[in-house]
Chains A and B, each alone.
Chain A
Amino acid sequence: MASGPGSAARVDALLQLRRVNKHYGQSHVLRDVDLDVHAGEVVVLLGASGSGKSTLCRCVNRLETIDSGEIVLDGTPIPAEGRELARLRAQVGMVFQSFNLFGHRTVLDNITLAPVRVRGLPREQAEARALELLDRVGLADKAAAHPAQLSGGQQQRVAIARTLAMDPRLILFDEPTSALDPEMIGEVLEVMTELAAEGMTMLVVTHEMGFARRAADRVAFMDQGRILETAPPDVFFDRPGTDRARDFLARILRH
């Protein structure tokens, strides 16, 4: 690889955010946000509630629109609407705080819907893959169940399997364990840690500091709509570079 003097000789990031701004009415929720996520990297967004983490996450697949700036996935700016946008979303997985499984469909049908309808995969093939993924998240015996029959942790693992079924290039996790009872958080984090170890590209909004330490390649700390610092987890947790981050960590780690 050629590296001229002064040039950063590295491959363009898979996901690039450039000077992203967003308002909700009067409040400025994202301020000049710049962030790169490279292929295979796990970036964890930390920050107090209301700091803009979830909004940022949701902007990446345009569940929220941005006012200015640019979000680029693999060299292509995120399209505004319509089929182009649907195509992009098919490549970006998303796991929600409230699982959002389709209530009228079995676990298996939840997972096969998008591969069959969006990717055009034959049903048998989609089902075989779905069963494989269910096995991987430890729920092979729940294929015929309906979402309401599962615990929160099980529903979230199905939601992860549903996302994986689309072979996404990047998965967004929007507080995936915040709606779970404490005893179920572990089973979901375990699946996520495995994914991270296998090289999945992930952008994770979470309050689970243990996960951030263990699985993140980089931590981005947000405060009042800005990314104040970005650092490897050991650096961030041991020697945070800003007062805000120090305060945040002190509050989190006190209890």
Chain B
Amino acid sequence: MPTGVLDQLGRGLLLTVEMTALAFAGALVLGVLLAVCRISPVPPLRLAGAAYVTAFRNIPLLVLLVLFVFGLPEVGLLYPLFATVALTMALYWAAFVCEVVRSGVRTVPRGQIEAARALGLTFTQCLRHVVIPQSLRSMVQPLGNVFIGLTLGTSLAAAVGVPELTGQAQLVTLKYDNPLTSFALTTVVYVAITLTSGVIAGRIERKVAIKR
């Protein structure tokens, strides 16, 4: 197989990594905000958070991608393809991050939250000093799962025309008619990313363990 192929797959990998990083960062930020809404004492915020999660978690990612990529231009919102796809993924995975954060928060005994509030800590202070430090550990592995799902899910971007790793593998296959080799290569790359992320999640988990 000519060296041009590796170049092409390398460019695809770069896009995949960029998209993963952007979408994961976006999903984390938005997901945490959504989780704060869902556990806040303000009913309209809780409702909005729940509605968001229900909407985004229950639609296939590919359908969302098609909706955003082809639907937004229809209503006059024209953004670069890459940005649209990365945003869609962030919006989709934020729903999952929200639920991870919310269930992590639930692992903190309710009594401790009451004690914090009874001492006069505000909702945010209570989250910051009591809830988050103790719930972080239980969130690490589930967030690792989200990261893996997101990484592998970026391959769907190929379906709407983003030449990331899977997209390039398709192009290479069209050109050289050797699907086994090109897809074997991309598989190895995906697995390398996901295995590494698993190891990193384990490290982080040990690091944020609570001393007792």
Contacts and interface: CB of A to CB of B under 8 A. Distances in A.
B111 A96 contact: yes
B210 A166 contact: no
B134 A118 contact: no
Contacts of B117: 63, 86, 89
Contacts of B210: 103-104
A91 B120 CA distance: 8
A186 to B, nearest CB: 24
A101 B133 CA distance: 14
Interface residues of B, number: 21
Interface in B109-151: 109, 111-112, 114-122, 125, 129-130, 133-134
Contacts, number: 76
Contacts of B125: 117-118
A94 B120 CA distance: 11
Contacts of B109: 100, 103
A87 to B, nearest CB: 7
Best-surrounded residue of A96, A104, A117 (most CB of chain B within 10 A): A104
Nearest to B42: A81
Contacts of A118: 119-121, 125
A203 interface: no
A87 B120 contact: yes
A94 B41 contact: no
B206 interface: no
Nearest to A114: B119
A166 B120 contact: yes
A162 B119 CA distance: 9
B110 to A, nearest CB: 9
A228 interface: no
B207 interface: no
Best-surrounded residue of B115, B116, B122, B133 (most CB of chain A within 10 A): B115
A94 B118 contact: yes
Given A61-B118, A90-B120, A117-B125, A98 B134 contact: no
A22 B142 CA distance: 40
* Interface majority SS (helix, strand, loop, mixed), chain B: helix
A29 B133 CA distance: 36
Best-surrounded residue of B112, B120, B130, B134 (most CB of chain A within 10 A): B120
Contacts of B211: 104, 146
A146 B115 CA distance: 17
A92 interface: yes
Contact of B129 (A87, A117, A149): A117
A252 interface: no
Contacts of B41: 81
A96 B114 CA distance: 9
Contacts of A99: 111
Contact of A103 (B119, B121, B134): B134
A211 B201 CA distance: 52
Contacts of B175: none
B122 A102 contact: no
A19 B117 CA distance: 25
Contacts of B129: 102, 113, 117
Given A113-B129, A117-B129, A148-B212, A100 B121 contact: no
A83 interface: yes
Contacts of A93: 118
B118 A92 contact: yes
Interface of B: 41, 109, 111-112, 114-122, 125, 129-130, 133-134, 210-212
27 contacts: A63-B114, A86-B117, A86-B122, A88-B120, A89-B118, A89-B120, A91-B120, A93-B118, A94-B115, A94-B118, A96-B114, A99-B111, A100-B109, A102-B134, A103-B112, A103-B134, A103-B212, A104-B134, A104-B210, A113-B119, A114-B121, A117-B129, A118-B120, A118-B121, A148-B212, A159-B115, A163-B119
Given A102-B116, A166-B119, 4 more contacts: A63-B114, A100-B111, A117-B125, A118-B119
Interface of A: 61, 63, 81, 83, 86-94, 96, 98-104, 113-114, 117-118, 146, 148-149, 159, 162-163, 166
